[in-house]
Chain A
Amino acid sequence: MATDGKVAGKDTRATPGSFGAGEARRGLATEPPRPPPVRAPESELDAPLSSKRMIVNLGPSHPAMHGVTRAVVELDGEMIVEMKLDIGFLHRGFEKSCENVTWTQVFPYTDRLNYVSSIMNNVGFALAVEKLCRLDVPERAKYLRVATSEIHRICDHLTLIAAMGMELGAMTVFLYCIEARDHLWDRLAELCGARLTSNYARIGGVARDAPDGWVEKTVRSLERTRELLDEVDGLLTRNRIFMDRTIGTGPVTREDAIDLGFTGPCLRASGVPYDIRKAAPYLVYDRLDFDVPVGSNGDNFDRYLMRVEECRQSMRILEQCWKQMEPGEIVVADFKYALPPKPLVYGTIEGVMAHFKLIMEGIKVPAGEAYSYTEAANGELGFYVVSDGGGRPYKLGLRAPGWPMLAALPHMTKGYLLSDLVPTFDSINMIGGEVEQ
């Protein structure tokens, strides 16, 4: 935040009527990020008493609903000197399970990776397999995939804002964001059948078409979501307490972010303007007009602002999708990959045979390997798929977007206070399902 908004000694950026509105900007928020101090006292008489370092275990059963991670921190007073992460408490054997089911049966497993934005996982996996099969999906399916992905991106960012607000004490923000998320989930339940784990994409298209009137209802739900998002923005973005706790904490420099493998909003908060939707457009993103927010400091406040702005840009994308979407097919017309329509299954021999083979043996994907990368809510979601020509995946590797950020958490919090760990852990959006597969 470069500009210093002081007018007549009052801080214009603080919430009116709050503590900060009537006084000059406090030093804490304008200081550059503190270097990890080994404080040298001015004189021996002022030196603090030497104390033992305390090792505290922030155990796997977290009060913050973020998934299970054990963080062992070594504290010098309140300052984190060393931090070690122990993960694996939610490892559910995603890759091994997927090697034992057919290609279409993998979709529910991919849902539960990043469970707040499931459709993006589905679409990522579908794109990887379609790359191997050399399939091109019909237009309406592409628009439906993009639209539902953006709705789930908004849900993911709302969940992050809710959790971040709640853990810093703003319970109201949590309730408002969950309300907004519920509106969107109701629309998605009408479309996909499930609120959370959508299982919507299929190899060759999407599972089902939008019901009548769904687009209009979703437009109204999005208006309500926009109202709630504006309300939450007003509550948090210029809130003195929120700003003090998140500006300057958990900073990551640009070089460090790239070296540690960050992608997505966390990388853009550190100043690198890389978004896969712009750099290597997939589906219909090259026909849509949207902006990509980029931050400057790479601290928690910037990561939070990325998400709020990306919600607004997603709503912009959705408006264009509704205008550009035409009625049409939702799945490729090739019965080697897509289930034939029921009249053909009940009426013709070819339909019955195609249906039987697809259900019993699975889609036969040509042998080879492919890596597909999409811009999930958290960063680059990569699926590395190896096929041996059969109906089951030979290997399904997942590049979880939250993984590098979680691995870099000790680097981000060393030298900062224990209470700075909380907003940092929130803003990297570690979702247990994807990080621990």
Chain B
Amino acid sequence: MASEIDVIPALTTRRDEAQGWLEGIVSKGLGWARKYSLFQYPFVTACCGMEYMTVASARYDLDRFGAALPRFSPRQADLLMVVGTVNCKQAPILQRVYEQMAEPKWVIAFGVCASSGGFYDNYATVQGIDRIVPVDVYIPGCPPRPEQVLDGIILLQKKIQDQQHKLIAPSLPVIGQAPGRP
């Protein structure tokens, strides 16, 4: 539910608070559970993949954040980490992988090529994957230092915690719907 779940509003009336108290507790609990058990789909393409390998390894450990296990099937993953340049030939594949993932799902644009196309402003490269899929966290850098990546993961975890989670999701977007929906 990248960028589509409403954030819990900052100002509420007492009536809203009374109605939403249990929902708020459930939302906080679900947020806590979801942020500390991220199953990532590493959509690795280019040089940032080397830094991804380093982040997943022993020194800068991604396992500390609960995000260690890569799941190479989109159905089993909830975090799509797009690592490296996505070019026009790869774009339909990225879109298909994103659509195959089940809700809730988040997207991290890892590296400057995934965030905005990097310095490859030419005929072959998509200028940022947010032209194809909605993105939650952008991690710039060419390639970003592992500490920067961990900072991005922590930002994402904060975002997940603050989103509104429900036990029964109201109306889910339909897979296969025309892309480009807001």
Contacts and interface: CB of A to CB of B under 8 A. Distances in A.
Interface of A: 59-63, 65, 67-68, 88-93, 96-97, 108-109, 112, 115-116, 159, 162, 174-175, 178-179, 181-182, 195-197, 432-433
Interface of B: 42-47, 49-54, 57-59, 72, 84-85, 87, 89-90, 93, 97, 119-125, 142-143, 145
B97 to A, nearest CB: 6
Given A91-B87, A92-B87, A115 B50 contact: yes
B136 to A, nearest CB: 19
A433 B47 contact: yes
A197 B47 contact: yes
A65 B54 CA distance: 12
B89 A89 contact: yes
Contact of A90 (B42, B46, B57, B142): B46
Given A63-B72, A96-B122, A108-B119, A88 B53 contact: no
B85 A60 contact: no
Contact of B125 (A88, A93, A162, A179): A93
Given A90-B85, A92-B122, A108-B119, A179 B45 contact: no
A97 B45 contact: no
B44 A65 contact: yes
A432 B125 contact: no
Given A92-B124, A97-B122, A68 B90 contact: yes
Looking at A62, A68, A174, which has the most chain B CB atoms within 10 Å of its CB?
A68
Nearest to A185: B54
A211 to B, nearest CB: 19
22 contacts: A60-B90, A65-B49, A65-B53, A68-B90, A89-B93, A90-B90, A91-B124, A93-B120, A96-B123, A108-B119, A109-B119, A116-B50, A162-B53, A174-B53, A178-B59, A182-B57, A182-B59, A195-B51, A195-B145, A196-B47, A196-B51, A196-B143
Given A65-B53, A175-B57, A182-B59, A89 B45 contact: yes
A92 B47 contact: no
B7 to A, nearest CB: 31
B52 A179 contact: no
A72 to B, nearest CB: 14
Contacts of A162: 53
A91 B89 contact: yes
A164 to B, nearest CB: 13
Contacts of B122: 92-93, 96-97
A89 B46 contact: no
B47 A112 contact: yes
B120 A90 contact: no
B89 A432 contact: no
A88 B46 contact: no
Q: Which of B46, B47, B59, B122 has the most CB of A within 10 A?
A: B47
